[in-house]
Chains A and B, each alone.
Chain A
Amino acid sequence: MSTTLKRVHGYLAEFDSVHGLYHAAEQVRDAGYSKWDVHSPFPIHGMDAAMGNPRSKLPYLVFCGGLTGTATAFTLETITQTNFWSHIGLGFLEKIIETYPTIVQAKPADIWTIPAFFPIMFELTILFSAFTTLFGLLALIGLPRWNHPLFASKNFPKFSDDGFFVCIEARDPKFSQEGTRALLEKAGGRNIELVEDEI
C-alpha cells in the first residue's frame, strides 16, 4: 500500500483496571525492563514503587530557582537603595546602573534597612520557584512535543479517558518480539499491538 519506512516503537498492551495495571507493572519491573512506561488517565498511587522509578529531581531545581529569586530581589533592592555594596568594597556594582537613591520614611540607607526588603525578596523567591517548577518539569519530561509514535495507535487515545496501558519500547535491551509479547499476555494485557513509527 505505502512504501513508508517504519520503525518499531514497541509493544502496547491495554489493561482493564488500575489493579491489573499495577500488578502488570510489578511484573514488567521484575522482568528487568528499563525503557517502558505505563499510561493512565490519572496518577496512580504507589505506581512509582511498582515501576521502580526513582524520586523526581525537580525539588533541587526549584530550590536553586528560589535562591535565584531571593538573590535577584536582594541585589535589586540593595544596589538601588543602600550603600551596602560600596561598604563591602564592591562599589563598582552600584555604578553599573545609574541610580539616584532616595531616602524616604527615615529608614536607614545601609544594610540594616533590610527588613523592609523582605516582602519583595519573599515574593520573588516564590515567583522564580514557580516558573522553575513549570519549566523544570517540562525539561524533565521532554514536553512540549508535537507528536509521538504512540499517537499512531488507534487504541492509545483512550489513555486520557479510561484506558490503562503498558508500553515496552523496542530500544530496551531486553526487548524481543516473542518474549515481550508473552510477558504482556501473561500479565493480563489485552489488544497487544506493535506500535510503529514512520521514519
Chain B
Amino acid sequence: MDATASTPNTPRILEREPLVLNNRSYSWITNRICGIVENKQPALWWILFVPSVLLTGLMVFCFTYLISTGVGVWGQKQPVAWAWDITNFVFWIGIGHAGTLISAILFLTRQKWRTSVNRAAEAMTIFAVMCAGLFPAFHVGRVWMVWFLAPVPNANSIWQNFKSPLLWDVFAVSTYFSVSLVFWFLGLVPDLATLRDRCRPGLKKLLYGLFSLGWRGGNRHWSHYETAYMLLAGLSTPLVLSVHSVVSFDFATSVVPGWHTTIFPPYFVAGAIFGGFAMVLTLMIPCRRIYGLQDLITPKHIDNMAKIILLTGTIVGYAYCMEIFVAYYSANQFESAAFTMRGLTGPSTWAYYFMFSFNVFAPQLFWYRPFRHNLWVVMFVCMCVNAGMWFERYVIIATSLERHFMPGAWQVYKATWVDKYTFLGTFGFFMMLFLLFLRFLPVIAIGEVKGVLPQSNPHHDDHAEKGIQEEDLMDYPDRHVAKPAAA
C-alpha cells in the first residue's frame, strides 16, 4: 500500500496484520467452513471418535458402578471428604471460562480476532460445563435425590439453604450453562441459515432450517440481533466472573486452613481463564491443521492467545506467592502450617511442585516471540497448563484437607480406580461432544469472520479511491503511527 511509504511530513502508517490471510473471499470462507460439515470426515476424526465413545462408555460404567455400590467407591473419607470429584468439577468449570471470555469480554473490548475462535470456544464451554456438572451430581451419593438441589421444597416443607455457598454454586453453574447455551445458539443462527441454504432438500435441510429459525439476513433483523448479541456479551461478562468467584466461595467461606482466604475469587477466575485458553489452543491447533483453516486461525490468533496465557499464568503465579506471603504475614499458625506442609513437609508436596512448575514457569516461555509462533512449543506449554491446573485444584482441595486442625485425624488421600477411570471417561465424553460438534455445526462463526474482512467495511472502496486520509486515523486511534522519517 502506498500509505505505508514514508515521505517527510506524512505519518507512516503501519498496517495491522490481517485477520484472514491471503485475501480470501466471502465464498471461500463459506465453502471452507461448510465443507467441514458437508464433506466426509478425515480418517483422524474416526481415529479420535471411536476411543472417545469407548471412554464415554467407561464413564457410564463407572457412574453405574458408583450408583449401584455407593459413593464409597471413590476414595474420599474423613478428613478428605472432597477429593477428585470436586477437583474435576472445578477443573472442568474452569476450562469453560475461556469460551465465555472469548465470546463476551473480547467482544466488548472490540478484539476482532476473537471471531475465528469464539464458536469453538463457546462449544468447548458448554461441553466442559456438562462434564463438570456430573461430578457434584454424583457426589451427593444418592443421585436420584439430586433434585434436592433445585429450589423446590422437600416432603417436610424444608427449602434449600439459600445462604449456603453450595446452593449459590448450583444457581451459578446452572445459570452459566443456560446463558452460554443461549449465547452459542444465537451466534449459530445465521451460520445455520448458511448451511440450510447450501443443502439439498431432505432431513438435513429440515433440521438446519428448523434451528436457523427462518433467518434471512435482513438488516432490520441484524440491527436487533447485534443489540441482543451485545446484551448477552454484557450479561455474560459479570456472569463468568461470578461463576468462578462463587466456586471459590465454596472454599473461601469455610474455616479450613489453605481455603479460608480472600484472594480466592480473583485467583480462581484468572486460573480458570488461564486453563481454558490452554484447552482452546489444545483443541484448535490440531483442528486448523486437519481442516485446513490456517488462513482463518492465523499465527496472530495463536500469538494473542499465548499472550493471554502468559498474563493469566503470571497472575496465578502472583496469587500462589501471595498465599505463601499471607500465610507467613498473618501470623496465623494454622495457615502457615498448612502452607509449610503443602510445600515442604507434607505428604503431597509433589503435587505442589507440579502445579508451580506447570502453571507459573512453563508459560514464561511465551515472553519470547519465536516460542509463541512455534506450534510445538505452544502445544507443550498448553499441555503443561492443562495438567497444572488440575494439580492446582488438587493441591487446594486435597492437601488442605489431608492436614486439618486435628493431627489425630490426618490421612493421606488415595484415589481409587473408579476415581481415575471416571475422570478419564469425562475426557472421552468431552472429546466425543466436541467431535460431534465439528461434524455437524460450523466450527468457525462464518458470518462474524466475513464481517471483519477489509471489504466488509462499507467505506472500504472509498479508501481505494482517495488513499488513507488524515481524518481516517481518527477512527483508528489504536493504529501504530510512526514518527515522520527525518528529512
A68 within 8 Å of B by Cβ?
A: no
Does A38 contact B218, Cβ atoms closer than 8 Å?
A: yes
For A124, list chain B residues within 8 Å (CB).
171, 175
A187 within 8 Å of B by Cβ?
A: no
B25 within 8 Å of A by Cβ?
A: yes
For A100, list chain B residues within 8 Å (CB).
156-159
For B159, list chain A residues within 8 Å (CB).
80-81, 99-101
A131 to B228, CA, bound (A): 11
Which of A2-10, A159-167, A173-181 forms contacts with chain B?
A159-167
Q: How far is the CB of B478 from the nearest CB of chain A, in Å?
A: 16
For A42, list chain B residues within 8 Å (CB).
190, 222, 447-448, 450-451, 456
Does B161 contact A102, Cβ atoms closer than 8 Å?
A: yes
Interface residue tally on B, bucketed by range: 35 or more
Q: How far is the CB of B485 from the nearest CB of chain A, in Å?
A: 33
Does B238 contact A141, Cβ atoms closer than 8 Å?
A: no
For B223, list chain A residues within 8 Å (CB).
43, 47-48, 53, 56
A21 to B456, CA, bound (A): 11
A144 to B231, CA, bound (A): 20
Quick one: which of A100, A119, A134, A156 has the most chain B CB within 10 A?
Answer: A119
B156 (CB) vs chain A CBs: closest residue = A100
A40 within 8 Å of B by Cβ?
A: yes
Q: How far is the CB of B195 from the nearest CB of chain A, in Å?
A: 8
Q: How far is the CB of B142 from the nearest CB of chain A, in Å?
A: 20
For A151, list chain B residues within 8 Å (CB).
216
Say yes or no: A116-B30 contact (C-beta < 8 A), given A43-B222, A133-B235, A141-B224.
no
Does A18 contact B214, Cβ atoms closer than 8 Å?
A: no
For A161, list chain B residues within 8 Å (CB).
26-27, 30, 194, 197-198
A41 to B217, CA, bound (A): 6
Say yes or no: A137-B225 contact (C-beta < 8 A), given A40-B219, A161-B30, A162-B25.
yes
Does B213 contact A143, Cβ atoms closer than 8 Å?
A: yes
Does A99 contact B216, Cβ atoms closer than 8 Å?
A: no
For A104, list chain B residues within 8 Å (CB).
161, 163-164
A23 to B460, CA, bound (A): 12
Does B26 contact A162, Cβ atoms closer than 8 Å?
A: yes
B185 (CB) vs chain A CBs: closest residue = A134
A87 within 8 Å of B by Cβ?
A: no
A19 to B179, CA, bound (A): 35
A107 to B231, CA, bound (A): 36
A76 to B150, CA, bound (A): 12
Interface residue tally on A, bucketed by range: 35 or more
A77 to B458, CA, bound (A): 51
A50 to B162, CA, bound (A): 51
Q: How far is the CB of A139 from the nearest CB of chain B, in Å?
A: 10
B468 within 8 Å of A by Cβ?
A: no
Q: How far is the CB of B350 from the nearest CB of chain A, in Å?
A: 35
A158 to B225, CA, bound (A): 20
Does B221 contact A141, Cβ atoms closer than 8 Å?
A: yes
For B30, list chain A residues within 8 Å (CB).
41, 160-162
Task: Other than A51-B220, A53-B219, give 13 A-B pairs with Cβ distance below 8 A.
Answer: A44-B451, A45-B457, A107-B163, A120-B168, A123-B246, A127-B175, A130-B182, A131-B178, A131-B182, A137-B228, A141-B220, A144-B214, A161-B198
Residues of A at under 8 Å CB distance from B? 17-19, 21-23, 25, 37-48, 50-51, 53, 55-56, 58-59, 62, 76-77, 80-81, 97-102, 104-105, 107, 113, 116-117, 119-120, 122-124, 126-127, 129-131, 133-134, 136-138, 140-141, 143-148, 150-151, 156-162, 167
Residues of B at under 8 Å CB distance from A? 25-27, 30, 151, 153, 156-159, 161-165, 167-168, 171-172, 175, 178-179, 182-183, 185-186, 190, 193-194, 196-198, 210, 213-228, 231-232, 235-236, 238-239, 242, 246, 249, 446-448, 450-451, 455-462
